[in-house]
């Protein structure tokens, strides 16, 4: 289908393939519509994996089965949405476009948002007495949600479901603004997610690591919200249907590159603190 992520074989490193059955499962899996595409999540997980301490890597192996499963499971939270409908709202937070930032009482009633879920999952991971299956699930959610909270359109709402109701055309392609940011802009980085993650990680400076490896899920949501408000929505101008320039994704990829790198650094930072042996 036009505009969908290409054959996922290209984004997998064969070292990471546990079995042919898994490969077939991956090829058959539907592509997620409401989250960073599969590529975005794989990049964040692969980058974080490179930054983990030996102790945290050991915990990944214990909880998920192998280090490679951290990347494979990065999209698990999207794959279960149909079976576990209550989890759908956990992937984003609807901070109103005009708001100055996240407000738990307004934006996260009953903990049904990505900010509260990251907090919940990190708490569960620190509880060594918790059921191992519950901890494994919390880790899978955490890997996914730390990436989602860095997708600017997962931290904003303008009465348009985070850009899902903003219809755009780019050349001959018809899409939604949300999908363009989930998938198209990420694909500007190429389809070899392992290589992209390696490149992003190698390009990290000590100053970036220091500046990014801190904060809270609500501060990260605020950061994403500012990007949406100041750098993405001005071009929309309140419209529900618009044409974007053909080079839109190429122009915007710098934002996504930084957001994916931040997400990877922060995921590793959380895991190194909460899975430390």
- Interface map 52-91 toward Zn ion (x if CB under 5 A): ---------------------------------------x
Distance CA 192, CA 200 (A): 12
- Rounded to the nearest whole angstrom, what is the least distance from the CB of residue 75 to Zn ion in the complex? 8
**CB nearer to Zn ion: pick between 35 and 183:** 35
Distance CA 217, CA 15 (A): 32
Does 179 sit near Zn ion (CB under 5 A)? no
Does 155 sit near Zn ion (CB under 5 A)? no
Does 35 sit near Zn ion (CB under 5 A)? yes
Distance CA 185, CA 270 (A): 26
Residue from 42, 148, 182, 223 in contact with Zn ion (CB under 5 A): 148
**CB nearer to Zn ion: pick between 91 and 266:** 91
Residue nearest to Zn ion (CB): 35
**CB nearer to Zn ion: pick between 85 and 105:** 85
User: Which 91-110 residues touch Zn ion, going by CB under 5 A?
Assistant: 91
**CB nearer to Zn ion: pick between 8 and 91:** 91
- Rounded to the nearest whole angstrom, what is the least distance from the CB of residue 86 to Zn ion in the complex? 14
**CB nearer to Zn ion: pick between 85 and 202:** 85
The residue count for binding Zn ion (CB under 5 A) is 3
Please report, as ranges, the residues that interact with Zn ion according to CB under 5 A.
35, 91, 148
């Amino acid at each position: 289908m036009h505009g969908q992520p290409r054959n996922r074989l290209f984004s997998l490193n064969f070292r990471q393939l546990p079995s042919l059955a898994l490969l077939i499962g991956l090829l058959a899996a539907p592509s997620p519509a409401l989250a960073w595409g599969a590529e975005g999540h794989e990049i964040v997980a692969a980058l974080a994996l490179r930054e983990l301490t030996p102790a945290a890597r050991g915990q990944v192996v214990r909880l998920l089965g192998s280090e490679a499963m951290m990347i494979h499971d990065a999209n698990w939270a999207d794959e279960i949405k149909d079976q576990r409908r209550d989890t759908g709202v956990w992937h984003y937070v609807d901070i109103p476009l005009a708001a100055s930032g996240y407000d738990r009482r307004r934006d996260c009633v009953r903990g049904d948002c990505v900010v509260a879920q990251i907090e919940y999952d990190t708490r569960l991971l620190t509880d060594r007495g918790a059921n191992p299956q519950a901890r494994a699930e919390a880790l899978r959610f955490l890997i996914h949600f730390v990436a989602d909270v860095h997708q600017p359109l997962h931290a904003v709402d303008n009465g348009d479901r985070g850009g899902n109701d903003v219809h755009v055309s780019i050349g001959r392609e018809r899409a939604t603004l949300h999908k363009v940011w989930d998938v198209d802009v990420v694909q500007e980085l190429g389809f070899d997610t392992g290589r992209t993650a390696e490149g992003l990680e190698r390009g990290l400076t000590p100053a970036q690591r220091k500046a990014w490896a801190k904060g809270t899920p609500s501060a990260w949501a605020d950061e994403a919200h500012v990007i949406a408000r100041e750098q993405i929505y001005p071009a929309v101008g309140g419209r529900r249907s618009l044409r974007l320039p053909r080079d839109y994704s190429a122009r915007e990829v710098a934002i996504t590159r930084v957001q994916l790198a931040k997400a990877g650094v922060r995921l590793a930072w959380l895991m190194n603190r909460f899975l430390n042996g």
